[in-house]
Amino acid sequence: MDYNFHWAQMFSGEPVQWMWEGFVTTMQVSVISLISAMLLGILICLMRMTPFKPVQWLSLAYTEFFRNTPLLIQIFFWYNASHYVLPAVVNEWINDLYYWFPGSFSLFGHEFVGEWMLFNAELISGVIALTVYTSAFIAEEIRAGIFSIPKNQLEASRAVGLSFLQGYRFVILPQALRIVIPPLISQALNLIKNSSLVMVLGVADIMYQATQIESYHAMPFEAFTVALLIYLVISLIVSFCINMYNKHYMIQVMY
């Protein structure tokens, strides 16, 4: 079957605007989720390292549960089922997020309006799912980095008067985070690619916009090829950053 390519139409008018909006939305979801996952991952890691056993078991259950269940199911859970088990005050806080931010903004002379912007229920659900899923992996990466630091450094910090948390904050974590930056960047890359799953909730990311172009303009090959190339370019940039870091800034732990 012959197929007539429409590359000129793909790179003009609505398709370009839609793909640009999808790219911005993907970056919004990815950046917010990555920052949140980093903070939550560090917290879960510290809980795992604490000598208090119930806290250890809670953090272990968290990491094992979210690492070993499919992300797609987690996305649907946070959107369709979580409000039945979350406290009312948490549900109200999530609902109020939408009103904390303006419904439109200008970027490079273009006005982006409301329906696909931060923060709606679909986007919030996707961000929460990506955050908790990725934070479980980040917690384990940081824990591995902490284990690579000699134990006598923590003992030395306690000997000079630092508390357990202060020893981790000022001595262990700064070294561990620098060591695990390459795997953390890999997790960031995985998060960006995983963000394509939020389109099942109607979040207007790159994949959602590609399906819109396919539906409205009958250009499936062009739309999904451009979407693929966008993700490829992002991945190559992140991979380049990993290689440059490994080449110039990797440190050796002193024993």
Mean pLDDT of 57-80: 92
Task: Please give the sequence-ordered ranges of beta strands (E in DSSP) within 96-239, or none if there are none.
Answer: 104-107, 110-113
Q: Tens digits of per-residue pLDDT, 38-61? A: 999 989 988 888 888 899 999 999
Q: Tens digits of per-residue pLDDT, 77-103? A: 988 887 777 777 777 776 666 555 544
| pLDDT, greater one: 234 or 120 | 234
Give first-to-last CA distance, the chain, whole Å.
66
Whether the CB-CB separation of 48 and 64 falls below 8 Å is answered with no
Neighbours of 150 (CB within 10 A): 14
Mean pLDDT of 64-83: 90
Q: Tens digits of per-residue pLDDT, 131-159? A: 999 999 999 988 888 888 887 887 788 78
Residues 6+ apart with CB under 8 A from 231: 192, 193, 196, 206
Whether the CB-CB separation of 224 and 214 falls below 8 Å is answered with yes
Q: What are phi and psi of 131, to 5 degrees?
A: -65, -55
Which structural domains are found in the chain, ordered by start? 25-248 (1.10.3720.10)
Residue 22 has, within 13 A of its CA and on its CB side, a CA count of 29
